């Protein structure tokens, strides 16, 4: 068989009548891949939108910049007994108060050191940053060995007026007086 040559190529040459570059399986794979990419994009974009909380409308006019400050816990005075009339600690002991300041909007918190055996404490400590419109939670606890006793808890929304004024005095629960300052 002289003159007759056989092609022994490992890859067959596509026939001209086929004329397609992609087969049905290729088109289907591209379609499914595209759908998966779009779904992944929408999932990531949706989770980012959920994480970003909507802006809290301020009571200030839009032309006024949002006021910012740092909350300073000043002094604390606690009522002499628990709400049920019992002493704060066993054998008639006084409370060991600590103050937790939590900015619920910005998700920041600060806990003061405890002051042992007292109804009056001076902290004068800078805690969390705030801006007009933020929601704060103030919690005062009597620190004990096993279980802490709640002295009082209070939530409020910071206003531009509070920051402008600079001082705030609160009374809640068994807290007779808690002074806060807003330092700009």
pLDDT tens sequence across 31-42 = 888 888 888 888
pLDDT number for residue 25: 84
Complete DSSP assignment for 108-131 = EEEEPPP-SS-SEEEEEEEEEEEE
Q: What is the pLDDT of residue 143?
A: 94
Name the CA dihedral angle for 48, 49, 51, 57, rounded to a multiple of 10 degrees: 150
Q: Which helix (H) or strand (E) holds 35?
A: helix 24-51
- The answer to whether the Cα torsion of 141, 144, 149, 151 is positive or negative is negative
pLDDT bucket at 49, cuts 50 / 70 / 90: low
* pLDDT (tens digit per residue) in 107-143: 999 999 999 999 999 999 999 999 999 999 999 999 9
- Report how far apart, in Å, the C-alpha atoms of 37 and of each of 25, 41, 46, 138 are: 18, 6, 14, 45
Q: How confident is the model at residue 63 (pLDDT cuts 50, 70, 90)?
A: low
Whether residue 44 has pLDDT greater than 70: yes
More confident residue, 36 or 51: 36
């Amino acid at each position: 068989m002289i003159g007759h040559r056989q092609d022994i190529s490992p890859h067959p040459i596509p026939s001209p009548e086929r004329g397609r570059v992609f087969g049905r399986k290729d088109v289907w794979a591209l379609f499914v891949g595209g759908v998966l990419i779009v779904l992944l994009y929408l999932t990531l974009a949706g989770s980012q939108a959920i994480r970003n909380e909507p802006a809290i409308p301020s009571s200030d006019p839009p032309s006024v910049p949002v006021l910012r400050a740092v909350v300073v816990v000043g002094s604390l005075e606690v009522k002499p007994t628990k709400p049920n009339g019992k002493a704060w600690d066993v054998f008639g002991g006084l409370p060991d108060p600590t103050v937790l300041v939590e900015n619920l909007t910005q998700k920041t918190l600060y806990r003061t050191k405890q002051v042992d055996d007292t109804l009056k404490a001076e902290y004068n400590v800078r805690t969390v940053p705030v801006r007009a419109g933020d929601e704060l939670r103030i919690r005062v606890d009597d620190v004990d060995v096993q279980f802490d006793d709640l002295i009082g808890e209070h939530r409020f929304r910071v206003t531009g007026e509070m920051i402008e004024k600079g001082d705030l005095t609160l009374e809640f629960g068994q807290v007779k007086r808690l002074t806060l300052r807003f330092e700009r």
